[in-house]
Amino acid sequence: MVLLFSLIPSVFSIPENVIYGSSLFEKLPLIEAGNTTEFRIKLFYKSGPYTIEDLNPIIEIYPLSLAQYLTIKTESTGKYLQPITTVIVKGNITASPDIPAGKVSLVYYFSAKDVLGNSYRSSWSDSSPPIDIQNEQTLAIKQKLLEKTRQTIEPVQIVINYDDPPLKQFRSGIPSEEIKCKEGFDLVIKVSSGSPACIKPQSKQKLLERGWAV
C-alpha cells in the first residue's frame, strides 16, 4: 500500500484549504467487461468551512495500464454540507468489452468549494480493495471449474426397503398409495394426517365407517 501511494504524491500533498473527515466504499462496483455498475462511497465530513458545496470524489485507477478500459462517472452531492455530516456519494464505472483480466484498485480523494467559491480538498485519501475484473476469459475459467465440481459430486442414491414399517416407507419418499404392507394386513390412509397405516382386515371396516381412514 505504501508503494502504491508513493506513486501518487498529488493525492497526499495537502494544500492550505482542506476539509477533514473520513470515507469508505459502502458498495464496491462489479467490474464486468461491457457492463456498467454502480458504486457508493460513504463520507463523514468532520471539520472545515462551516458550509461546503459541490463535493465530488476524484478517482484514479491503478494500475494505470487498465485506466484506458474504464470510464468513471460520479454525482456531485449538489447540496450544502456542514461539519459533523454523513453523506452518500454515488457513481458508476463502465468497463470496455476488451478489458483484460486482472485486478484494479480505485484511489480517491474529495474536492469541494465553500460559499465564496474557494476550492478545498480532503486531507485524506483512500483506496478500494483490489477488485477482480470479469471478462470472457475469467467467466470461461469459472464455468470449467463449476463443471469439474459437478462431475466430482456423486448423485445420492436412495435405497427403499418395502419391508420397513409403513410410516418409514412414507418418510423415505414412497407415495402413500404405493406403501407395501406385510401379508395379512391392509393399507389405509389416515384422514387427519394423510399418513399410511397397515391394519388387520377385521379392523379396516370399522375405521372406514368412523371416518378415521380411507
- For residue range 146-182, what is the model confidence (pLDDT) as tens digits? 777 766 665 555 555 667 788 887 877 778 778 888 8
**E strands of the chain, at which residues?**
18-27, 31-32, 36-47, 52-62, 70-74, 85-95, 103-114, 119-122, 126-127, 131-134, 186-189, 196-199
- For residue range 58-111, what is the model confidence (pLDDT) as tens digits? 999 999 999 999 999 998 776 788 999 999 999 999 999 999 988 999 999 999
Q: Which CATH number fits domain 2-136: 3.10.50.30, 3.40.50.720, 2.60.40.10, 2.40.110.10?
A: 2.60.40.10
What pLDDT, on the 0 to 100 scale, is given for residue 113? Answer: 92
Residue ranges of the chain assigned to CATH 2.60.40.10: 2-136
Q: Is the pLDDT assigned to residue 51 strictly greater than 50?
A: yes
What pLDDT, on the 0 to 100 scale, is given for residue 131? Answer: 92
What pLDDT, on the 0 to 100 scale, is given for residue 2? Answer: 37
User: Model pTM greater than 0.75?
Assistant: no
CA distance 184 to 109: 84
Q: Is the pLDDT assigned to residue 26 strictly greater than 80?
A: yes
